[in-house]
Structure 1
Amino acid sequence: MKDQKAWPELEILAADNQQQVLAAIQEMAGWSAYQEERDRRAAELRRTADLELRLTKMERLRFLLESIVLDRNFPKVAPAEACELLNRIRALEQSSLGDAELARSRDRTPSDSDLGSKSSE
């Protein structure tokens, strides 16, 4: 075996020696420090995930509150055209892409080419 010559230690890691190797590793002085560090990092990852979830919830709440304030105050300070545009944008945000295409085609004035030969009838 080519690797056996370059790495004579490979024989120690053979499948039939795994339990002995594991026991030897666990008896090493640094094993308990390794386990403690692994546990500490796992707890830190859980804490980070919890903080990210909390931040996301706070951002959603802020967005909701800003939307409520905008909804209540925008009509008081903006011209009617801007209010109408905002309402159209909100309606489009609530629709699917297919609904948006339908709304766009309804708002558009048909041209002669859209009507084809039917316009001459």
Structure 2
Amino acid sequence: MTAPRTVPLYRLAHGRTGDKGDRSNISVIAWHPALWPLLVDQLTPEVVAQQFAHRRPSAVQRFLLPRLCAMNFVLDGVLDGGVNDALNLDTHGKALSFLLMELQVQVPEALMPHLAGPPGG
């Protein structure tokens, strides 16, 4: 049996992001239905909170959409108060999906043909 390979999340899924006030939501959509169970197992609210630890989210919620092979994460308190309150140049949540898509996940060899993008990552 071959050990799982570590690959970035963007090989398994794509993301869409939005923001409202100090809340960001990030949707993760599997490239292939066969990848969905792996995403549910590995992409937990705790893992996402750790990925965004430097933004100090006050809460991370996950909402599963199994018929779409998708999930939505709602991250509270990650936008420095929101676009109108922050002193940073860009606190829009739209850029946060890129950070999540860099998350490293473990993929069994049998699922490798369902990944998107170049084999080298």
Same fold (TM over 0.5): no
User: TM-score, with normalisation over the residues of structure 2?
Assistant: 0.19
TM-score of the aligned structures, taking structure 1 as reference length: 0.19
Structure 1 or 2: more helix by fraction: 1
Which of these two proteins has the greater Rg computed from alpha carbons?
1
Higher RCO, 1 vs 2 (CA within 8 Å, ≥6 residues apart)? 2
The answer to which structure has the higher strand fraction is 2
